[in-house]
Amino acid sequence: MGETSGKSSGGMAANRSVSRAIAVLRALAARGEPLTVTEIAKQIGLARATVFRLLLTLEEEGFVDRQDTHYTLGWDLARIAQDVDPTPGLLSRVSDVVVEIAEMLNETVTLSVRHGKYDLDLVQQASPRAIGMSMTELQGQRWPLHASATGKLLLSELDKESIRIATGSKLEKLTSQTITTWKALDAELDQIRERGWASTIDELEVGIISVAVPIRGAGNDLIGMLAYMAPRHRVDTEKLEVQKIEGLLEGAKMVRRRIVSMTGE
């Protein structure tokens, strides 16, 4: 009985060792830096000896790499991950939530997932009210990070050097309201970090307002974001529709709960 846990799926008990090994991998992924056995054990709440045994097996399988006393995610895990598209599994869990949020806000809502350090993939759009943009037109598009709500939210997660790399060291002017100086962008990103959400008003396209909120993983890392966009004439830009922002933040919590149920975090 020692190898099973109280968790179950479809009435079958989960294997405790496998669950613990996955917890080790998630701990390494969340921190994004080499960790010692002691650091991993503390983060996931297991005995050091147990974590050490798990790491030995994971290292043998190529799922973790060891440098002296520090561990990172392994080469074979990275190889496998390159061939995996997580979008179908994700959407099967959260697509109805995104539609629900769009109906609640009565605005177009998008779900984007983080792809690597600098990129975002828009994977779903729900539009209860047409604003002149279709699903096909939005999916697959790449907007300048400094001029979009989702892009600015991503930039707010980076240090200054990484921000310059992500933007190509150039802040293109798209409208008269687009941020085009590093000083102004840095100040905007500081504000985003403080309040926890990002917005644009006429910065990407005249007449369009957008707000984006983060979806975070177990280690508080940014894994995706929800955003709504609307014609500016329907939005109170003075208050930036506080109720809609609160609704979007609550929606992000709903999406995260669905993801947590999928990953077991």
As given in the structure block, the two tokens for residue 70 are 């520090």
The fold of the 4-82 domain, in CATH, is Arc Repressor Mutant, subunit A (1.10.10)
Of 65 and 262, which is predicted with more confidence? Answer: 65
Mean pLDDT of 21-35: 85
Mean pLDDT of 65-73: 92
pLDDT at 164: 93
Mean pLDDT of 39-50: 94
The pLDDT tens digits of the residues spanning 158-204 come to: 999 999 999 988 899 999 999 999 999 999 999 999 999 999 999 99
Q: Domains of the chain: which residue ranges?
A: 4-82, 87-263
pLDDT at 248: 94
Q: How far apart are CA 253 and CA 255, in angstroms?
A: 5
pLDDT at 141: 63
pLDDT at 14: 58
Of 135 and 20, which is predicted with more confidence? Answer: 20
pLDDT at 191: 96
Alpha-carbon 211 to chain mean position? 15
Concatenated DSSP letters for 99-144?
A: HHHHHHHTSEEEEEEEETTTEEEEEEEE-SS--S--HHHHTT----
pLDDT at 94: 87
The strand pair at 64-67 and 198-201 is best described as unpaired
pLDDT at 80: 77
The pLDDT tens digits of the residues spanning 227-239 come to: 999 888 877 766 6
pLDDT at 147: 95
pLDDT at 85: 64
pLDDT at 20 over 70: yes
Model pTM score: 0.70
The radius of gyration of the chain from alpha carbons, rounded to an integer in Å, stands at: 21
CA dist 179 → 38, 82, 140, 201, 238 (Å): 45, 35, 24, 11, 19
Q: Which of 13, 36, 12 is nearest to 24 (CA)?
A: 36
Of 158 and 142, which is predicted with more confidence? Answer: 158
- Please tell me the least confidently modeled range out of 101-115, 122-136, 198-212: 122-136
Helix (H) or strand (E) holding 210: strand 208-216
CATH 3.30.565.10 for the 87-263 domain, yes or no: no
Please, which pLDDT band fits residue 30 given cuts at 50, 70 and 90? confident
The pLDDT tens digits of the residues spanning 246-255 come to: 999 999 999 8
As given in the structure block, the two tokens for residue 230 are 């609307």
Q: Rounded mean pLDDT of the chain?
A: 84
Q: Report CA dihedral (62, 68, 69, 74) to the nearest 10 degrees.
A: -20
